Copies of this chain bind each other. A is one copy, B any other.
Amino acid sequence: MPDAMSGKRVPSRELFDLVAGHFRVLGEPARLALLHSLADGERSAASLLAEMKISQANLSKHMTVLCQAGFVTRRREGPYVHYQLADARVLSLCELMCDRLESDAISAHELIATRMLRED
């Protein structure tokens, strides 16, 4: 039975590339911190620059990447630029990942506790 008739989804290589590319955008600590700073609402480039400990050029590049990925929108107001989360689901992704890591940490902790109780 061919996949087309099985009802099962068969992702194409292009889809994997696209999804992986967006995960890679989230695979940068500085960009995660920037997204986190935008969680409370719109922020100006200057305020982000003041908060983060990165250079102006670096900030601009990271924000460009986030905009191209569709995670953030850019709004120009005179000489100033304001950034905003384009989609709150991005934060859901981060929270989901954090939950996973937390579970792993707990499991590791229990494993260590078990080993300490066990008589080798």
CA distance A87 to B83 in the complex (A): 34
A112 contacts B by Cβ under 8 Å:
no
CA distance A99 to B93 in the complex (A): 11
Name the CB-closest residue of B to A71: B100
The reply to whether A27 and B23 contact each other, CB–CB distance below 8 Å, is yes
CA distance A53 to B46 in the complex (A): 47
Chain B residue contacts of A15, Cβ below 8 A: 98
Copies in the complex: 2
The reply to whether B99 and A96 contact each other, CB–CB distance below 8 Å, is no
Which A residues are within 8 Å of any B CB, using their own CB?
A: 11, 13, 15-33, 36, 70, 87, 89-90, 92-94, 96-101, 103-104
Which 10 A-B pairs give the minimum distances between C-beta atoms?
Answer: A24-B27, A16-B29, A23-B26, A23-B27, A20-B29, A16-B32, A27-B27, A70-B104, A17-B29, A20-B27
